[in-house]
Amino acid sequence: MASLQVSPTPVFTPLFIDGELKSSSTSSTFQVVNPYTNEVVGLCSSASSEDCRDAIEAASSAFHSWEISSLAKRRDIFLKAADIVSSDRYRTKIIDAMTAETAATQSFGVYNWGPAATILRTTAGLVNELRGETFPSISGGHVMVQRRATGVILGIAPWNAPFTLALRAVAIPLICGNTVVLKSSENSPRTHALVVELFQEAGLPKGVLNFISMSRESSPRLTAEMIAHPMVRKINFTGSDRVGRLLAAEAAKYLKPCILELGGKSPMVVLDDANLEDAARAIVYGAMAHSGQICMSTERVIVQRGISKALISAVITLCEPLKAGDPSKNLLSPLFSVGSAENVLDLIRDALDAGAELLLGDLSRKGSIVQPHLLYDVKPDMRIWEHETFGPVTLFSVFDTIDEAVDLANASDYTLAASLFTTNLHSAMEISPRIRSGYINVNGTTFHSEPLLTVFGLGGSSGYGRFDVEHFTDKRSIVFHPPQRQYSLLGNLKSKL
């Protein structure tokens, strides 16, 4: 079927528990299938309940020493990891694994590898935030507030940007002094395991980072068991809002906090005075990168009437040459499954039945391959407006007034990222804060985040919490009371001691 070259022998990915590579205690495995060639490209250990418990207990045991390790030691490990991941050896490892497991294009593989060193070095610098404060106590003594690690963190990473997002799932928790059990996606365990391999090569002590993978069938049960384990203190998850809700509900049974970075339906608002070429290029990049399989993809374009025809024409012109197919030959990859491809087309057909106009696209798929689609006159009451497509699709809606634009941008349960195009600084300063989104990029694509800030939703279907020091440490207060303190209940009474 395809010319994409993958290893003729499926690559085996074991578990990694307490510093050792291990097969499942039950010897169970599952297959990883390339979504383009449909070939088996990997065989992965499928963890048992015992394996999950062992990983959590290893992390709990390692926590006692890692929590009190010097900040300089943690920083140096991260800086060494940054140097290692910058090598051509890791570049090749990451791109090969991503291409095999997720049918990503080489350019998107480079995108996953390229920022890794910067992420690690930026995270290393966060040791400067791990400081406390002191101030006088109302008791007449002194108060010391410390930032202390939370404990064992369960990190659950997705398949779509597998190396970068697995790195994010573990990096800030680790630098803060937590220990981590990383649960991989069943679609990309080999790529996720490279994060663990990198940290071990950099000198991370055994047990501090553990790696668990499991089959799709066993995942719901085992994940629930891991969340319930008393040694797990917090869960971070990046993925769909559907799964995020299930995990949050499970964690709520035990009042365990979650960091959830979920879906997006990112709007780009384009005013009449915008630079048309810049806006068009940002739309196409934001909507079509990785075939739209990015939580910050530009799924909605809300454009002022005066520039709408010219902008739409420019976007169509840029999209027409983009073709999805063999990721070794095309700029756009297949989608990660046939089911995902059919869901994208179902949402488009539903919108057309409700009155939207198809500007580009053929309403067909070849396996999991879907070509770019553009829709016009899409309204908030349509299902495609409300649901993340996770495909190469963007929607156009026209507005007349600024208030109308803001209302349309905010007419969504997603709050992850947004964009505003205008050449008027006053308009940018006035309008951007009115868009309810964790990120508002002015004159830039929605698909952008800063290493120091990462991505964060403001609740709803985009989730809540942030990957930062604040969310992976606890503030603990120690109050030093003065000697011979008086207590009103006792008055002048004295003990006989």
C-alpha distance from residue 71 to each of 58, 122, 221, 376 (Å): 22, 14, 37, 53
8 A C-beta contact, residue 296 and residue 286: yes
Burial level of 249, CB count in 10 A (0-12/13-18/19+)?
A: exposed
Q: How far is CA 334 from the centre of its chain?
A: 20
**What is the C-alpha separation between 118 and 112, in angstroms, rounded?**
11
Smallest CA-to-CA distance from 294 within 265, 315, 327 is with 265
Token readout for 86 is 């910058």
Please identify which of the residues 261, 277, 299, 430 carries the catalytic annotation. 261
C-alpha distance from residue 361 to each of 151, 371, 374, 477 (Å): 50, 6, 7, 59
450 is catalytic: no
What single string gives the DSSP state of each residue in 227-258?
HH-TTEEEEEEES-HHHHHHHHHHHHTTT--E
* Amino acid making up residue 282: A
Cβ neighbours around 87 below 10 Å, total: 11
8 A C-beta contact, residue 83 and residue 125: no
Backbone angles phi, psi at 465, to 5 degrees: 90, 165
Smallest CA-to-CA distance from 409 within 285, 302, 496 is with 302
E strands in 412-494: 417-421, 439-442, 473-480
Cβ neighbours around 403 below 10 Å, total: 11
DSSP H/E element including 428: helix 425-431
Token readout for 287 is 């909507």
Backbone angles phi, psi at 42, to 5 degrees: -155, 150
Q: Which residues are catalytic?
A: 261
